Amino acid sequence: MGRVAPPARSADRVVVIVAFDQVQLLDVSGPLEVFTTANRYGARYDVRVVSPTGLDALTSCGLRIGADAPVERLPRRVDTLLVPGRRDWREAAADDALVALVGGLAARARRVTSVCAGAFLLARTGVLDGRRVTTHWELAPQLAAAHPELRVDPDPVFVRDGRVVTSAGVTAGIDLALALVEEDYGADVAREAARQLVVFMARPGGQSQFSIRMTPRPPQHPLVRRAMDEITTDPAVPRGVDALAAGLGVSTRHLARLFRQETGMTLGRYADAVRVEAAQVLLSSGTASVEEVAQEAGFGSSETMRRVFQQTFGVSPTVYRARFRTTSAPATAVTALPLPGAG
C-alpha cells in the first residue's frame, strides 16, 4: 500500500521513517499520524518513509507499506530520523544492509529517535554509545545485556539524551512524536494534534503501569520456590518472614538471605509486588469495590493500597481502574478521565 507524500516545501522539517520487513506497523503509523496531523495546526513536516530496498515493506501484521522514494532522493541533511522496531530484534540487528542504512541516515540527521526495538538497530550503529536510553519494558534487560555500553532505563515512556530520543514500546511512539512536535512548534500545536487523535498530551506515569517492574530472577533453590508459592497462592493471607521460615523449617535469617541471593529482592518487596499484581488484575477486570480489592489482594485497607499505587504508578487505584480496565467498562469510568492535553 503506497503513500502519497506531500510536496516538499523549503521550510519543512524532513522526517525520515525507516520501514523494513516485519516492522511493527504502529511503530511507523503512530508517529506518522502525529506528524501529519500536526501539519493541520501549523506544523510543517515533510514525512518520508524509506526502506533498504526502496520497495514495499511487509509489516508484522501482514499489511504492506510503501516507500516514498529511494534514499538517494532524500535531502543531504534531514531534520529527524525515526527508527521503528520488529518483534524479532535479532533479525533486524543482524541485517547489515538495514544497519548501514540506519547508520548513514543517523549521520545526516539533526535528531535521531527510535520506537520500541528500534533501539537495537541504533545501538548497532554506535549512535547510542554511552547514552541513557529506553525501549519496551520487556526488551530492556536484553538491550542492556546485548549492549553494556548503554545506560538502559526500563521505566520512562521516552528518554532524551542530547540529540537522541528513544521511546518505549509500540504506542509510546505516539508520545515520542507529540513531544517532538511540542519541541519544534510549541505546546499549542502538539495539544491540538493530541486532541484530534484522542490521546494524552503527556501519558501519566511510566511503563511501570503496564508491566511488573519487580519481576525477580528465576529462583533455583527449592526453599525459595516454596516461599514464593506460599505468597502467590493467596496474597490476602498475611505471611511474615518469621511465619514463612517456620513453615519451611529454616531460620528467618537463612530464608531472608537465601531469598535475596536467589531473586535479588527481599521477601517483603516480593510480597508487595504480588499484591500489586493481584490488585491490578482485580481492578482492571472485576467489579469489586476498591475496599474489597484491597482486602482480597492482601493490603488490608484501601488506604494502604492507595498509598502503594500512588508510589508505584503515580495514580490512585480508582484512576488506575478507569484507565486500564477493559473496553466494556462503564461510560462513567471513561468520562472521568482528563481530556487530552488537560493540566
Active site residues per annotation = 116
User: What's the Cα-to-Cα distance from 338 to each of 15, 201, 202, 224, 318, rounded to whole Å?
Assistant: 31, 10, 11, 44, 14
- 18: cell is 525507516
Element (H, E) at 261: helix 252-263
Q: How distant is the alpha carbon of residue 313 from its chain centre?
A: 14
Q: How many whole angstroms separate alpha carbon 319 and alpha carbon 214? A: 22
Within 10 angstroms of residue 40's Cβ, the number of other Cβ atoms is 11
Residue 298 C-alpha cell reads as: 492482601
Amino acid at site 63:
L
- d(CA 111, CA 131) in angstroms, rounded, equals 14
Least Cα distance to 38 among 185, 236, 243, 146 occurs for: 185
DSSP of 282-343: HHHH----HHHHHHHHT-SSHHHHHHHHHHHHSS-HHHHHHHHS-TTS-HHHHHTSPPTT--
Q: Grid coordinates standing for 305? A: 493500597
Q: Is 159 helix (H, G, I), strand (E, B) or coil?
A: strand
